[in-house]
Homo-oligomer: A and B are copies of this chain.
């Protein structure tokens, strides 16, 4: 039980620090327009790729450095500590490209993997649909074979980065007469293909992180099929399993800053930090968010011992999304009526807590709702029985 770096880890960290210090002027930040940020991130990604920091745990064959999960986390910790955002390439390198490596042809891999690792090409994931959210297999976008091409029509939704992506992984329904999980097929598609229309989704928090993507008779070569026809569900599961264990910081303001904020918030009798209700709530919030962080270190330890992280990794978002929602409300409300003011220039923490309060509902939904995550823990970790699923063996075309 050792929480500190091992000598090897310490050495890796020192090297990473040197590397980052040496490239101080190239480090991207959160400021600027999306286009400007993207440009800087691409340059930085290429530098990382050239130095073995882009896909640290991947084989060198794919542009990786053959490193450990712990090394990846160490690098990310150091990067994050210097304000480098974790943006643009996560879905591609975490989910899409590993799927390409597993399912695409050698020629395709040779063409696609390295540009993605270097940030020259960006990938997005086109799985969700209006009627296929938690129940991902409810996909309705259909692909119909036409010679050695497929014609895809339908609507995808919640696609991050569709508007700046070069490639997308798209799941389609190829046989509606089979039960829902059994008539799906996966493709990759060039995002500039004719017939693809991308519309941004305006979120309640004001941001525009996601898109709707419409497929209007989009033609995809059969060569871009991943896996067998009607076997797309397994490909999707493989893709989603590859979502990496994240390093770096939790969302929301850090503990020390939370207390300092409470110290500066007057209440009738002293400051918010003197209020037993706040102190107790803080303590509970602290052990939960800290517990998630520490649990991630346990997972990393398991990974560094060669184990694959299991469904228990689901607890992170389940806990932190809700805690973020409630703690940000608590902090905002403690300001009294003044807390209503949602203006970066006036609100505390540059309005970040207000933003968290309006953003947290989305975190509780995206990437698996609270309910889906609890199901995963209950069924896959605890082995509790599944619920009856009336549409399981019914032809998709006959389901609601």
Contacts and interface: CB of A to CB of B under 8 A. Distances in A.
A94 to B, nearest CB: 36
Interface stretch (A118-126, A152-160, A181-189, A274-282): A274-282
Interface string A253-291: 000000000000000000000011111110000000000
Contact of A277 (B279, B387, B388, B390): B279
Interface string A373-399: 000000000000001101000000000
Contact of A276 (B278, B387, B388, B390): B278
Contacts of A280: 276-277
A387 B387 CA distance: 10
Contacts of A390: 388
A275 B278 CA distance: 10
Contacts of A277: 276-277, 279-281
A279 B277 CA distance: 8
A189 B279 CA distance: 59
Interface in A349-390: 387-388, 390
Interface string A6-49: 00000000000000000000000000000000000000000000
A390 B387 CA distance: 11
A280 B275 CA distance: 10
Nearest to A274: B276
A387 B386 CA distance: 13
Nearest to A269: B276
A387 B280 CA distance: 38
A276 B268 CA distance: 12
A278 B281 CA distance: 12
A378 to B, nearest CB: 15
Contacts of A388: 387-388, 390
Nearest to A278: B276
A265 to B, nearest CB: 13
A275 B277 CA distance: 8
